[in-house]
Amino acid sequence: MAVNDYTQKIDTLTTVAIDEATRDLANLVTEGGEKMLKKMQSKGRIFVVNDAEKVKHPVLFGSGDTLYFDPDNLSGATDTDALNSAANEILGFAQFMMCSGTRNINYPQAMPAGNFIPYISSTIKMHMMDILNKEEKLFLRGEDSGSGTEAVKGCLASDTGYAAGNPFSLPALIQNDSANRFAGIEWNDTDMAHWRPGHQVTAAADLNSIALWGAELDEAIQNASYSETERPDWILTTQTAYTELLAALRAASVINDGVLANLGTTSEVPYAGSMVDWSRYLDADGLYDISGGVAADHPILGINTNSLRLNVVAGGGVAEEKLGFVQKIGSTQTHSDRTNLFDRVQYKRCWSLDGGRRSCFSIEGVTF
């Protein structure tokens, strides 16, 4: 077989395999087993968007005063000051940079004997799952190795902690200091105050009872809630903190035997209209000591999955009706100094908030 025919066959099979593996993100995410992405997929919060530099969502900067009056009332003076231009609502936009990733998919120069279609298909699938694994780490930790210090990654080039090519991270989402910009927006207590996420410092470093857990979670959920849909509905923490919460719930005598028997046997525990879960990618870190940045606090993070979304740009390469997440760039190439072949792929995505407010929270000071 001529070398050109061989590489062309690999080229075609790779393109087909990429489209098949990534055009159905729901199945790929489910098979990949990543918790955060699976949650977003189950809530219908993964969107295919047009290719662009940024994703923008409208944000309302406060609202103007309302003038109340009786109709057909010819007497009395009108309070025109309540309707002046300074009191009108101002519409702005939160901006989230679209970021790209790229990698090589390598093949041996001579494929295993026999039909190598399954070989290429399996290789592509493993790469796609690895990409999703790294995406989970990038969002939850701000870095893709799953170890080391978590990092704040901003949404826009003007944001605090923005890193070129990196989507924004969960640690950036919960930062409460008004000196930090988020999605190009500055906030403080009087101007755009609802763009500030909820934040509280617990006086009990060891939440060892349901009374302590309840006091902290109840207050945090309430302060970060604006409506029954715009509220934290998923509380994410470390395995250590999750285990402590389970122990506290099991010790509470108000739980009936039916609930107690199954408590913790699934990955989530319901609490006050939210679900509590843990991630193997979250660790105690000084970054979650938002006020001081010294103690290695366990993150107790409330997320509104009704406003958080993952935006992916359609890739595809075989046919327009098969638009996958990952796109192959160019044709199959040979390494200059090795005996294997490779295909270059790229993908483009970002996380964003489309609810208009950061209805999320963090609880600081939990060290156990």
Residue 28: how many other CB atoms lie within 10 Å: 23
Q: How far is CA 19 from CA 5, 100, 206, in A?
A: 21, 18, 49
Mean pLDDT, residues 158-167? 94
Is 62 or 178 the better-scoring residue by pLDDT? 178
Quickly state the pLDDT bin for 106 (edges 50, 70, 90). very high
Phi-psi region of 165 (alpha: psi -120 to 50; beta: other; left: phi over 0): left
Q: Using the predicted structure, report yes or no on whether residue 260 has a pLDDT greater than 60.
A: no
Q: Is residue 178 one of the residues assigned to a domain?
A: yes
pLDDT tens-digit readout, 288-327: 999 988 889 999 999 999 999 999 988 755 445 555 688 8
Q: How many domains does the chain have?
A: 1
The residue written with tokens 């066959």 in the block is 9
For 113, the domain range is 3-59+95-364
Q: How far apart are CA 360 and CA 198, in angstroms?
A: 6
Tokens describing residue 69: 């009056």
At residue 173, φ and ψ (nearest 5 deg) are: -65, -35
Q: Is residue 256 one of the residues assigned to a domain?
A: yes
Q: How far apart are CA 163 and CA 351, in angstroms?
A: 14
Q: Using the predicted structure, report yes or no on whether residue 91 has a pLDDT greater than 80.
A: no
Q: Is residue 341 one of the residues assigned to a domain?
A: yes
Q: Using the predicted structure, report yes or no on whether residue 122 has a pLDDT greater than 60.
A: yes
Give the DSSP H/E element, type plus range, for residue 117.
helix 117-141
3-state secondary structure (DSSP) of residue 29: helix
Tokens describing residue 183: 């999605």
Could you report how far apart the first and last alpha carbons of the chain are, in Å? 65
3-state secondary structure (DSSP) of residue 80: helix
What's the pLDDT at 232? 96
Average pLDDT, the chain: 85
Its sign, for the CA torsion 313, 231, 261, 283, is: positive
Q: Is residue 82 one of the residues assigned to a domain?
A: no
Q: Is residue 90 one of the residues assigned to a domain?
A: no
Mean pLDDT, residues 98-125? 86
The length of the chain, given as a count of residues: 368
At residue 364, φ and ψ (nearest 5 deg) are: -100, 145
Q: How far apart are CA 180 and CA 62, in angstroms?
A: 19
Q: Is residue 240 one of the residues assigned to a domain?
A: yes
Please check whether residue 125 is in contact with residue 13, taking contact to mean a CB–CB distance below 8 angstroms: no
Q: Is residue 268 one of the residues assigned to a domain?
A: yes
Q: Using the predicted structure, report yes or no on whether residue 6 has a pLDDT greater than 90.
A: no
How many Å separate Cα 84 from the centre of its chain? 40
Residue 88: how many other CB atoms lie within 10 Å: 12
- Percentages of the chain per state (helix, strand, coil), in multiples of 5: 30, 25, 45
Q: How far apart are CA 313 and CA 52, in angstroms?
A: 9
Q: Is residue 32 one of the residues assigned to a domain?
A: yes
| Closest listed residue to residue 277, CA positions, set 305, 319, 307 | 305
Q: Nearest-5° angle of CA 283, CA 94, CA 53?
A: 90
Query: Taking each helix axis from N to C terminus, what angle separates 25-32 and 3-22, rounded to the nearest 10 degrees?
Result: 90
| Reported pTM | 0.88
Q: How far apart are CA 22 and CA 6, in angstroms?
A: 24
**For residue 294, what is the domain's CATH number?**
3.90.1690
What's the pLDDT at 319? 47
The residue written with tokens 């927006």 in the block is 185
